[in-house]
RNA sequence: GGGGCGUUAGCUCAGUCGGUUAGAGCAAAGGACUCAUAAUCCUUCGGUCGUGGGUUCAAGCCCCACACGCCCUACCA
């Protein structure tokens, strides 16, 4: 045990450890679906966990608003790109944050002045220090689209164009054209990146993602074209205003500009480096390009880049074109934001792909939230009301049994286990650990039969002890589950009268949630409304 | 073509360094109980671990091949 003592002491000696966590910034042209919401929720659970644990936490999300696609859509709708972005941010992306109850500390838009200024400074620094050079960019150009085409929009021609590459939209041959671009010397960082992955095995997580990144970099890195001249909706290149910045180079910098890169050195020093939570599709940008950019600028690389998996619907990646895209409010309107958060965090192993189905959501909602946690809270609070006039009963020392001690030990054990799991980004395992306490308490109440004790005058002390144990268990659960299901735990906290007795729920030190006897005997309680009302199964799609 | 991941109970998934009778939840069946959201608790049922080889005293786990599925291969969480 001396080892764990040493670790605890070290932790105690580093108060207010910084924890800066980010979601990707979302491309405003997309319609928010549960995949976006999944990323947001996972990041939020981690942020809330660290914040409630006393870490100096900062969580960031936002939107990516530059690029040709947005310019094109805006023009088609007869508005400026900025107006278009404003509209989508206000109608779609900020509402998403509310829909799933995200506690972000900041929301950055790549059209914010702070961002555009920071990007310009970053670019200038790299240019001045020789990391950027002018070169010729050669790519396939579609006359119909009037733009260079990314690979995803290039297909093999058929019929008259057999053997040629054609535009996916116009089905006409593409021309090989050149334009002057500025390039970032990313290839120069290949060895340093490989050394980084080697020296810090937890830099890219999970291990499967790390393997992919290493394999990719080992194939050899090319320099990255970071400017465009064919359109103007972007951040101008500081030394050559005929170019705008490549959208990814711009977008990645949000993580730095949001916390004061180039403008507020104190804030930047306090927050950086970040932990980035990303979908596995954009892993490469975060695990290769982004650290290379930072190395060039002489800035520390991120703490971690964690790539989560896809939500699968019917065994396939969710997609709008296959009509499997689901809007978050389709779920929250019926089940609520807590259920949304709980379901995706619990049912899916974080870092792996996971299956979504309405049946599974419905089943887990009832079995785990309504019947498990919700009903436990309901029965305990009701018995406190019925047998003790709605006050917290006091445990009687001589009546404390092995069963009570087992609950206390379990509470301490699951608290420690959950914290370790969160540290490893194993959100699903953290929740599973906490749920052991939910199940144990339901079993405990069942075995101790407080309703039978209540019928015997001689058993009043034991009755008080049993309900005190059960209620303290609820107190611990409210604290432990608050990062995941903030609304339900707040309702429970209010019913327990805990806010007046020991303070706000979000202020309860999470790593001490397992400590017993925190809720004083005699604390007045309030009736508890049903936390997770049953939902009749209806027109659920298969 | 190159690469990553996966294939374990009806369903969704765990399975650590190779080590005894392969686990959980849900679903299904039976029983107990009545404080509670017809909730809870107990019991039972259920698996030739994708296929074929190999290494080993011992393989779900390591090696080889194959099959199937998903994904990446330079601007979609």
Using the predicted structure, report yes or no on whether residue A5 has a pLDDT greater than 50.
Answer: no
Q: Which of A69, A125, A145, A185 is catalytic?
A: A145
CA-wise closest residue to A213 among A317, A274, A304: A304
pLDDT score of A313: 77
- Asked if A463 and A450 touch (Cβ cutoff 8 Å), the reply is yes
Instruction: Specify the DSSP element, H or E, that contains A18.
Output: strand A18-27
Q: How far apart are CA A538 and CA A123, in angstroms?
A: 55
- Asked if A345 and A428 touch (Cβ cutoff 8 Å), the reply is yes
**Is A170 in the active site?**
yes
A196-212 average pLDDT score: 85
- Asked if A70 and A26 touch (Cβ cutoff 8 Å), the reply is no
Tokens 């671009």 sit on residue: A181
- Six token digits for residue A380: 């305990």
Q: What is the mean pLDDT of chain A?
A: 88
CA-wise closest residue to A380 among A442, A459, A305, A313: A442
Please, which pLDDT band fits residue A359 given cuts at 50, 70 and 90? confident
Using the predicted structure, report yes or no on whether residue A410 has a pLDDT greater than 90.
Answer: yes
- Asked if A134 and A178 touch (Cβ cutoff 8 Å), the reply is no
**Is A280 in the active site?**
no
Other Cβ atoms closer than 10 A to A211: 12
Q: How far apart are CA A174 and CA A143, in angstroms?
A: 7
Q: How far apart are CA A192 and CA A200, in angstroms?
A: 12
A526 vs A71, residue with greater confidence: A526
- pLDDT over 70, % of chain A: 88
pLDDT tens per residue across span A115-130? 999 999 999 999 999 9
Using the predicted structure, report yes or no on whether residue A165 has a pLDDT greater than 90.
Answer: no
**Is A145 in the active site?**
yes
CA atom of A208 to C1′ atom of B55, Å? 26
Instruction: Specify the DSSP element, H or E, that contains A152.
Output: none
Q: Which of A180, A320, A322, A386 is catalytic?
A: A320
Q: How far apart are CA A237 and CA A243, in angstroms?
A: 6
- Six token digits for residue A540: 């659920």
Other Cβ atoms closer than 10 A to A176: 9
Using the predicted structure, report yes or no on whether residue A542 has a pLDDT greater than 70.
Answer: no
pLDDT score of A152: 59
CA atom of A55 to C1′ atom of B41, Å? 40
Beta-strand ranges (E) seen in A188-345 are 204-205, 224-225, 227-228, 236-237, 240-245, 274-279, 304-308, 311-313, 316-317
Cβ within 8 Å of residue A448, ≥6 positions away = A403, A466
Beta-strand ranges (E) seen in A352-502 are 354-356
Q: Report the interhelical angle of A34-52 vs A337-347 (nearest 10°).
A: 90
Using the predicted structure, report yes or no on whether residue A225 has a pLDDT greater than 70.
Answer: yes
Which alpha helices (H) appear in A53-189, and where do they start and end? 68-76, 81-88, 94-99, 113-128
Please, which pLDDT band fits residue A209 given cuts at 50, 70 and 90? confident
| Strand-strand pairing, A204-205 and A304-308 | parallel
Q: How far apart are CA A244 and CA A225, in angstroms?
A: 11
Beta-strand ranges (E) seen in A336-454 are 354-356
- Asked if A453 and A459 touch (Cβ cutoff 8 Å), the reply is yes
Using the predicted structure, report yes or no on whether residue A1 has a pLDDT greater than 60.
Answer: no
Query: Which pTM was predicted?
Result: 0.92
pLDDT tens per residue across span A261-288? 999 999 999 999 999 999 888 888 999 9
Tokens 């053997």 sit on residue: A163
Closest residue to B5 measured CA to C1′: A208
pLDDT tens per residue across span A453-481? 999 999 999 999 999 999 999 999 999 99
Q: Where does residue A163 fall: left (phi above 0), alpha (psi -120 to 50 degrees), or beta otherwise?
A: left
pLDDT tens per residue across span A166-203? 666 666 677 777 778 899 999 999 989 988 988 888 89
Q: Which of A69, A82, A165, A170 is catalytic?
A: A170
**Is A142 in the active site?**
yes
CA-wise closest residue to A122 among A290, A305, A267, A277: A290
Bridge partners (DSSP) of residue A384 are none
pLDDT tens per residue across span A70-95? 888 888 889 999 999 999 999 999 99
Comparing A137-151, A227-241, A270-284, A398-412, the range with the smallest average pLDDT is A137-151
**Is A131 in the active site?**
no
CA atom of A22 to C1′ atom of B25, Å? 32
Q: Which of A36, A243, A286, A428 is catalytic?
A: A36
- Six token digits for residue A204: 């890219």
pLDDT tens per residue across span A501-520? 999 999 999 999 999 999 99
- Asked if A81 and A70 touch (Cβ cutoff 8 Å), the reply is yes
pLDDT score of A340: 94
- CA distance to A271, A327, A396, A474, A496, per residue, from A509 (Å): 21, 34, 26, 15, 17
CA angle A491, A493, A497 (to 5 degrees): 115
Half-sphere exposure for A50 (CA within 13 Å, toward CB): 25
Handedness of CA A126, A129, A131, A136 (dihedral sign): positive
- Asked if A62 and A108 touch (Cβ cutoff 8 Å), the reply is yes
pLDDT score of A155: 63
**Is A33 in the active site?**
yes
CA atom of A210 to C1′ atom of B55, Å? 29
- Six token digits for residue A334: 């019926």
Please, which pLDDT band fits residue A9 given cuts at 50, 70 and 90? very low
pLDDT score of A7: 36
Chain B nucleotides close to protein (CB under 7 A) are 3-6, 11-14, 25-27, 32-42, 69-77
- Asked if A515 and A412 touch (Cβ cutoff 8 Å), the reply is yes
The secondary structure of A261-303 as a DSSP string is: TTT-HHHHHHHPSEEEEEEGGGHHIIIIIHHHHHHHHT-PPPS
A192-218 average pLDDT score: 86
Please, which pLDDT band fits residue A351 given cuts at 50, 70 and 90? confident
Bridge partners (DSSP) of residue A26 are A63
A55-62 average pLDDT score: 96
Q: Where does residue A54 fall: left (phi above 0), alpha (psi -120 to 50 degrees), or beta otherwise?
A: left
- Asked if A342 and A484 touch (Cβ cutoff 8 Å), the reply is yes
pLDDT score of A470: 97
């Amino acid at each position: 045990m001396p080892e764990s003592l040493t670790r605890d002491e070290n932790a105690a000696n580093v108060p207010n450890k910084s924890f800066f966590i980010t979601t990707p910034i979302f491309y405003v042209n997309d319609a928010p679906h549960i995949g976006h919401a999944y990323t947001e929720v996972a990041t939020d659970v981690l942020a809330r966990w660290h914040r409630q644990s006393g870490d100096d936490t900062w969580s960031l999300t936002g939107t990516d608003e530059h690029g040709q696609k947005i310019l094109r859509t805006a023009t088609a709708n007869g508005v400026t790109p900025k107006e278009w972005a404003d509209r989508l941010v206000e109608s779609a992306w900020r509402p998403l944050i509310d829909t799933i109850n995200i506690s972000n500390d900041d929301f950055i838009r790549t059209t914010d002045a702070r961002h555009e200024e920071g990007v310009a400074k970053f670019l200038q620094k790299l240019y001045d220090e020789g990391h950027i050079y002018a070169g010729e960019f050669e790519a396939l150009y579609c006359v119909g689209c009037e733009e260079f085409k990314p690979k995803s929009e290039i297909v093999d021609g058929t019929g008259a164009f057999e053997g040629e590459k054609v535009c996916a939209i116009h089905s006409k041959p593409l021309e090989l054209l050149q334009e002057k671009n500025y390039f970032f010397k990313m290839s120069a960082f290949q060895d340093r990146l490989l050394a980084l992955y080697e020296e810090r095995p937890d830099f890219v997580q999970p291990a499967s993602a790390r393997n992919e990144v290493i394999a990719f970099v080992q194939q050899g890195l090319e320099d990255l074209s970071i400017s465009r001249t064919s359109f103007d909706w972007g951040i101008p290149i500081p030394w050559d205003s005929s170019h705008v910045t490549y959208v990814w180079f711009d977008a990645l910098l949000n993580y730095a500009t949001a916390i004061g890169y180039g403008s507020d050195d104190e804030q930047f020093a306090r927050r950086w480096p970040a932990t980035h939570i990303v979908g596995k599709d954009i892993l490469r940008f975060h695990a290769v390009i982004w650290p290379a950019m930072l190395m060039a600028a002489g800035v520390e690389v991120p703490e971690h880049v964690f790539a989560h998996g896809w939500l699968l619907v019917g065994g396939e990646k969710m997609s709008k074109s296959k009509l499997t895209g689901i809007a978050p409010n389709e779920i929250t309107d019926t089940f609520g934001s807590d259920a949304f958060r709980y379901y995706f965090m619990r049912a899916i192993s974080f870092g792996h792909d996971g299956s979504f189905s309405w049946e599974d959501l419905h089943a887990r909602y009832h079995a785990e939230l309504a019947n498990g946690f919700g009903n436990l809270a309901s029965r305990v609070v009701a018995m406190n009301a019925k047998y003790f006039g709605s006050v917290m009963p006091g445990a009687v020392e001589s009546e404390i049994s092995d069963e009570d001690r087992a609950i206390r030990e379990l509470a301490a054990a699951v608290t420690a286990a959950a914290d370790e799991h969160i540290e490893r980004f194993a959100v699903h395992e953290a929740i599973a650990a906490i749920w052991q306490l939910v199940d144990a308490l339901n079993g405990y109440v069942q075995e101790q039969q407080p309703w039978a004790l209540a019928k015997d005058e001689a058993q009043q002390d034991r009755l008080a002890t049993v309900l005190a144990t059960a209620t303290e268990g609820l107190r611990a659960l409210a604290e432990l589950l608050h990062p995941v299901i903030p609304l339900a735990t707040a309702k429970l906290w209010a019913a327990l009268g805990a806010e007046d007795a020991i303070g706000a729920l979000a202020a309860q030190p999470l790593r001490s949630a397992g400590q017993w006897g925190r809720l004083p005997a005699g604390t007045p309680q309030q009736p508890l409304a049903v936390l997770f009302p049953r939902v009749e199964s209806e027109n659920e799609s298969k």
